[in-house]
Amino acid sequence: MSVIKWTDSYSVGVAVLDEQHKNLVLMINSMHGTYDQGIMFDVVMKMFNYAAEHFHLEESLLRKRSFTGLDRQIREHKMFMRKASEFAGKDLSDPVTHTQVVTFLSEWLVHHILHEDMQYREILALYEI
**Which residues contribute to the site for Fe ion (CB under 5 A)?**
73, 117
Contacts of 84 (CB under 8 A, 6+ apart): 44, 47, 48, 51, 105
Q: Residue 98 Cβ, how far from Fe ion at the closest point, in Å?
A: 25
CA distance 50 to 21: 10
Between 77 and 98, name the residue whose CB sits nearer to Fe ion.
77
Could you tell me the smallest distance in angstroms from the CB atom of residue 37 to Fe ion? Answer: 29
Nearer to Fe ion, 4 or 92 (CB): 4
**C-beta of residue 117 within 8 angstroms of C-beta of residue 11:** no
Work out how close the CB of 122 gets to Fe ion at its nearest, in angstroms, rounded to a whole number.
15
Query: Which residue has the CB atom at the shortest distance from Fe ion?
Result: 117
CB closer to Fe ion, 73 vs 106:
73
